[in-house]
Amino acid sequence: MRLEPISNPSLTRTIVPPLIALGSTVVIASLLAMIAGANPFSVLGLILKGAFGSKFAALETLNRATPLIFTGLSVAVAFRAKLWNIGAEAQLYAGAVVTVVLGTGALTLPPVALIPIIALMAMIAGAIVLLIPAILKTRFGVDEVVTTLLFNFIFLLFVSMLLEGPLKDPMGMGWPKSARLIPEARLPRIFPGLRLHWGFALAIIAAIVVWIIQKRTTLGYEMQAVGLNTEAARFAGIPVRTVLIKTALLSGGLAALAGFSEVAGLKGSLTLDLSPGFGYTGIIVAMLALLNPLAVIAAAFFVAGIFVGADSMSRAAGVPTYLADIMLATALLLMVLAILLTRFRIVRE
Amino acid sequence: MDLVDILLSASFWTATIRIASPLIFATMGELICERAGVLNLGIEGIMVAGAFAGWMAVYSGTGLWTGVAIAMLVGMAFGFLHSLLTVPFGLSQHVVGLGLTLLATSLTYFSYRLALPQVTSPPKIQAFEVLPIPVLSDIPIIGPALFAQTPLTYLAFALVLVVSITLYRTPLGLALRAAGENPAAVAAQGLSVTAIRMGAVIVGSGLMAVGGAFLTMSAFDSFFFEMVNGRGWICIALVVFGAWKPGKALMGAVLFAAFDAAQIRIQQTPIGANISYQVFLMMPYLLSILALVAMSRRAEVPAALMVPFNKGER
């Protein structure tokens, strides 16, 4: 078999494969739930109810989507320039560490000044964490997939060291946990009484800013050119190394905002389970969004909905909670295939 | 002083070879995939699945070798899925690989919870036992290290030989290497690049799963979450470190394991006790990165690695 590009894909051709992919994901999840002893026909309903069925559920989904928008943007920015940043998890924790270091009383300023300073410093920390693999790539030709992956392990151990050492909360009853942020460093709620913090608004703003950078600036054009064809970009006089370094700084900074927003907006302190893999899930978000920054918002809602919904469904139906991860992996693999099939047809030989 | 004592102890070298064994299986698996032109980032998840499948099979009553075979088949099934998406469909090897790692890991954890719903500590199996080779295992220091291991370790070393001979001395190996260097030439010979690459990924993934199974069936006797703990990613670094050659990759795995075995022992010395244990745990990952930097200039990457081949496309 061989793939042949379709010059003018019809509307059906563009819509049907992704729908089949989504439908198959639900079918597979239902079958697995049935194996686990649940009623397969209740699965989809329970997921939707768990994710969007009540005000509480919907807010939970939005809160869960917030860090995913940041990490999704981080990955989308990097992947577009073919910088394979699999290390958003480490960069997220870098942002969280800075937030705790500066936000627990080291700096005393009014919130209007303190919060932006912390956010900026968090971004710088995340940028530095990705800068190392990026320099290893541009200077020594070391593959960044492996280095960023390994950095995740190194950085998590580093955080564990901090939480058992200098950052340990003296009041923490021996738990490896940081002290709580001072109230001035906390991100306030957007609407009084609703459990949704300004980190969410910041995520939406970040998506728009990234979109503007990609569509309206020279850097955005250069990042795209490097990603499409590095050799051609170099031939056209684009400083490929500089562009990759700038991409890394932006990508690392965005991932760090996820850590900042989780600590300052939601948790108030840092523990080792701050992120249940938001950095890795960011890759799924970015791919489902076809690396488009505005679509990252929608993809993050979708992924957060699966997480929150499948979690609630699992508890209601007595199914192991790992079903959410299975659904995401299935959705990702089927979706990349479906998107390919919207543009290519299979020719038998 | 302490370091010399460690290096001269037989238990250190025995541990080194034991730690290296799962890495050897998985590194050979990844090397085969990459030599054929496919980066397999599913390795981490496939190792998790293999670790569980082999252990679960033995726990349910099969023999140890049947367990290894089942682990391998599970790995091959995931390898088939990976190769189907990345070879004929030519999808991004990064995305498919990472997606497959998530799929294999979550399916494994899901199955574990289904199979053993109420356990707090996982049950143990009767794992592979040490099989000393007479006479040879009596050689001081290296005797016990090389000749008093479990059968799976002997198999790991034999595997390197088999992979080496197959790659460099057989027509199949030539075709496989050519698929990773110049697929158009392979197609011009009338061979199917798709079949070669898919075959390589399927067999390679099977070996990765055996590497995972080594953990639950030989190194330990039980299955824990997070037990693979980045070993798959380290194997990808080892392939690069070994310049895509089986012999060098084996040396890399043993060297790496020696550092790992040494750090565990240094931790227990008076000096080591003053250093955070996290620093020691970081060492394997830091070493892998340093090894990549050291080897980067000399690396001979297969020319068509990560380049999909679509026949008829020019």
End-to-end CA distance of chain B: 63
The model scores a pTM over 0.90 = yes
Show Cβ contacts of residue B244 under 8 Å, excluding neighbours closer than 6 positions: B31, B34, B35, B299, B300, B301, B302
* Among B85, B94, B229, beta carbon nearest to A145: B94
B312 domain residue, yes or no: no
The count of CB pairs under 8 A between chains A and B is 129
Q: Note the helical H segments in A81-197.
A: 88-103, 111-140, 144-164
Q: How far away is chain B from the Cα of A142, in angstroms, using its nearest Cα?
A: 6
B216 vs A348 pLDDT, higher one: B216
Q: Would you call B141 exposed, middle or buried from its count of C-beta atoms within 10 A (0-12, 13-18, 19+)?
A: middle
The predicted structure's pLDDT at residue A124: 98
Show Cβ contacts of residue A276 under 8 Å, excluding neighbours closer than 6 positions: none
Over residues B131-170, the pLDDT tens digits come to 888 878 778 777 777 887 899 999 999 999 999 999 999 9
User: Phi and psi of A4, rounded to 5°?
Assistant: -125, 125
Residue B24, both tokens: 């050897």
Q: Which position has the token pair 């950085």?
A: A155
Residue of B nearest to A336 (CA): B91
CATH number, residue B282: 1.10.3470
Residue B260, both tokens: 């790992």
Instruction: Check: CB of residue B234 under 8 Å from CB of residue B71.
Output: no
* Among A2, A141, A337, beta carbon nearest to B311: A2
Question: Which H or E element spans position A327?
Answer: helix A323-343
Q: Which of residues 109-168 of A touch B (CB under 8 A)?
A: 136, 140-143, 145-147, 149-151, 153-154, 157-158, 160-161, 164-165
The predicted structure's pLDDT at residue B152: 94
Instruction: List, as one string, the DSSP characters of A203-237.
Output: HHHHHHHHHHHHHHSHHHHHHHHHHH-HHHHHHTT
B125 domain residue, yes or no: no
B133 domain residue, yes or no: no
Q: How far away is chain A from the Cα of B211, in angstroms, using its nearest Cα?
A: 19
B76 domain residue, yes or no: yes
Maximum mean pLDDT: which of A66-70, A165-169, B59-63, B238-242? A66-70
Over residues A210-267, the pLDDT tens digits come to 999 999 999 999 999 999 988 899 998 999 999 999 999 999 999 999 999 999 999 9
The predicted structure's pLDDT at residue B188: 92
Residue among A206, A190, A207 at smallest CA distance from A119 = A206
Q: Is B216 helix (H, G, I), strand (E, B) or coil?
A: helix
Q: Is A3 helix (H, G, I), strand (E, B) or coil?
A: strand
Rounded to an integer, what distance in angstroms lies between the CA atom of residue A120 and that of residue A115? Answer: 9
- Which chain A residues are within 8 Å of B187, Cβ to Cβ? none
Please list the pLDDT of chain B residue by residue as tens digits (314 residues).
467 777 778 888 899 999 999 999 999 999 999 999 999 999 999 999 999 999 999 999 999 999 999 999 999 999 999 999 999 999 999 999 999 999 999 999 999 999 988 777 888 999 898 888 887 877 877 777 788 789 999 999 999 999 999 999 999 999 999 999 999 999 999 999 999 999 999 999 999 999 999 999 999 999 998 899 999 999 999 998 898 999 999 999 999 999 888 888 888 888 777 888 889 889 889 988 998 888 876 667 888 898 888 765 54
Into how many domains does chain B fold? 1
- Which chain A residues are within 8 Å of B311, Cβ to Cβ? 2, 349
The predicted structure's pLDDT at residue A5: 87
Q: Share the mean pLDDT of chain A.
A: 93
Residue B75 sits in which domain range?
2-116+142-298
Residue of A nearest to B110 (CA): A322
Contact A280 B102 (CB under 8 A): yes
Q: Is B148 helix (H, G, I), strand (E, B) or coil?
A: strand
B304 domain residue, yes or no: no
Asked whether the ipTM of the predicted complex exceeds the cut of 0.95, the reply is no
Q: How far away is chain A from the Cα of B50, in angstroms, using its nearest Cα?
A: 17
> Mutate which of A93, A142, A229, A281 to disrupt the B interface (most B C-beta within 10 Å)?
A142
Rounded to an integer, what distance in angstroms lies between the CA atom of residue A314 and that of residue A309? Answer: 8
B122 domain residue, yes or no: no
Residue of B nearest to A323 (CA): B110
Rounded to an integer, what distance in angstroms lies between the CA atom of residue A202 and that of residue A76? Answer: 17
Instruction: Check: CB of residue B210 under 8 Å from CB of residue B202.
Output: no
- Which chain B residues are within 8 Å of A157, Cβ to Cβ? 278, 281-282
